Amino acid sequence: MASNKKYWKSVEELKDSSIVETLSKNEFVEEIPTDQFLGDKETLENSSTSRRDFLKYVGFTTAAASLAACEGPVVKSIPYVVQPNDVIPGVADWYATSIADGYDFANVLVKTREGRPIQIMPNKEANGTTSARVQAAVLSLYDEKLRLKNPSKSGEEISWADADKEIGVKLNELKEVNKPVVLLTGTLASPSTQKIIEGFTAVYPNIKHVVYDAVSESGAADAFMAMYGKRALPNYHLDKAKTIVSFGADFLGDFHGGFEKQYIAGRNPKTGQMSYHVQFESNMSLTGANADKRVVVKPSDQVFALLNLYNAITGNNISSKATPVDAEVKKMAVELKKSGSKAVVLTGLNDKNAQLVALAINAALNSEIVDVNNTLNVRQGNDTEVAQLVSDMKSGKIAGVISYNVDPIYTLSNAEDFAAGLDKVSLKVALSTENSATVNAMDYALPTPHFLESWGDTQFDESTYGLMQPTIQPLFNTRQVQDVLLKWSGNSTKYYDYLKAFATTTILNGSSWNKALHNGFFKREIVASNVKAEVSVANAAAALSSSAKKASGFELNLYTKTGLGDGKQANNPWLQEFPDPITRASWDNYLTISMADAKELGFSNPVKDNGAIDGDYAKVSVNGKEVVVPVMIQPGQAKGSLGLSLGYGKTFGLKEEMQVGVNAYPLYANGNNIQYGVAIEKVSGNHKFACTQVQKTIAGRHDILKVASLKEYKTVEPKDHHHGWNKPAYVSYDHQEVEANTIDLWDEHNRDMGHHFNLSIDLTSCTGCGACVVACHAENNVPVVGKNEVRIGRDMHWLRIDRYYSSEVETREEAKELGLSRGETYRKLETEAENPEVTFQPMMCQHCNHAPCETVCPVAATTHGRQGQNQMTYNRCVGTRYCANNCPYRVRRFNWFKYADNSEFDFNMNNEYGKMVLNPDVVVRSRGVMEKCSMCIQMTQATILKAKKEGRLVNTDEFETACSSACTTGAMVFGDVNNKKDKVAALAEDKRAYNVLDYLQTKPNVIYQVKIKNTNEA
- Per-residue pLDDT of 590-609, as tens digits, reads 999 999 999 999 998 888 76
pLDDT band at 406 (very low <50, low <70, confident <90, very high): very high
C-alpha separations of 842 from 281, 732, 799, 893, 967 in Å:
25, 30, 7, 16, 11
Q: pLDDT at position 603, please?
A: 92
Q: At what angle do helices 495-502 and 191-203 cross, to 10 degrees?
A: 110
Q: Looking at the whole model, is its pTM more than 0.85?
A: yes
Model confidence over 131-159: pLDDT tens digits? 999 999 999 999 988 999 999 999 899 99
| CA 729/CA 810 separation, integer angstroms | 19
Q: pLDDT at position 901, please?
A: 87
| CA 207/CA 836 separation, integer angstroms | 53
Contact present, 405 and 448 (Cβ < 8 Å): yes
Q: Is the pLDDT of residue 1016 over 80?
A: no
Q: Using DSSP, state whether 277 is helix, strand or coil.
A: strand
Q: Is the pLDDT of residue 46 over 60?
A: no
Residue 77 identity: S
Q: Is the pLDDT of residue 871 over 80?
A: yes
**Residues contacting residue 471 through CB under 8 Å, at least 6 positions apart:** 95, 97, 110, 112, 117, 452, 453
Rg for the chain, CA atoms, rounded: 29
Which of 70-79, 362-371, 972-981 is the least confident region?
A: 70-79
How many other C-beta atoms can be found within 10 angstroms of the C-beta atom of residue 892? 21
Q: pLDDT at position 816, please?
A: 55
More confident residue, 381 or 64: 381
| CA 488/CA 492 separation, integer angstroms | 9
Q: Is the pLDDT of residue 817 over 60?
A: no
Give the residue among 664, 148, 658 at the shortest CA–CA distance from 404: 148
Residue 370 identity: V
Which of 524-528, 569-573, 676-680, 912-916 is the least confident region?
A: 524-528
Residue 599 identity: K
Q: pLDDT at position 55, please?
A: 47
Q: Is the pLDDT of residue 954 over 50?
A: yes
Percent of the chain whose pLDDT exceeds 90: 63
- E-assigned strand segments in 177-266: 181-185, 207-211, 233-236, 243-247
The string of DSSP letters for 667-723 reads G-GGG-SEEEEEEEEEEEEEEEEEE-TTTS--TT---S--EEEHHHHHHS-TT-TTT
Number of alpha carbons in the 13 Å side-chain half-sphere of residue 978: 13
Which of 526-540, 560-574, 660-674 is the least confident region?
A: 526-540
Q: pLDDT at position 683, please?
A: 93
Mean pLDDT of 771-788: 93
DSSP state of 793: T
pLDDT band at 625 (very low <50, low <70, confident <90, very high): very high
Which of 80-89, 501-510, 565-574, 694-703 is the least confident region?
A: 694-703
Average pLDDT across the chain, whole number: 86
- E-assigned strand segments in 206-354: 207-211, 233-236, 243-247, 267-268, 273-274, 276-281, 293-296, 343-347
Contact present, 643 and 637 (Cβ < 8 Å): yes
DSSP state of 573: H
Calculate the CA 288 to chain-centre distance. Answer: 15
C-alpha separations of 941 from 734, 847, 935, 945, 961 in Å:
45, 17, 11, 6, 11
pLDDT band at 904 (very low <50, low <70, confident <90, very high): confident
Q: pLDDT at position 661, please?
A: 92
- 3-state SS of 117-184 is EEEEEECHHHCCCCCHHHHHHHHHCCCCCCECCCCEECCEECCHHHHHHHHHHHHHHHHHCCCCEEEE
Q: pLDDT at position 534, please?
A: 64
Q: Is the pLDDT of residue 34 over 50?
A: no
- Rounded to 5 degrees, φ, ψ at 731 are -130, 165
pLDDT band at 41 (very low <50, low <70, confident <90, very high): very low
Mean pLDDT of 462-481: 93
Q: Is the pLDDT of residue 33 over 60?
A: no
Handedness of CA 693, 699, 703, 709 (dihedral sign): positive
Contact present, 13 and 830 (Cβ < 8 Å): no
Model confidence over 222-254: pLDDT tens digits? 999 989 888 999 999 999 999 999 999 999 999
Q: pLDDT at position 111, please?
A: 93
Q: Is the pLDDT of residue 668 over 90?
A: yes
Q: pLDDT at position 37, please?
A: 42
pLDDT band at 510 (very low <50, low <70, confident <90, very high): confident
Model confidence over 281-331: pLDDT tens digits? 999 999 999 999 999 999 999 999 999 999 999 888 888 888 899 999 999
Give the residue among 996, 999, 994, 997 at the shortest CA–CA distance from 732: 999
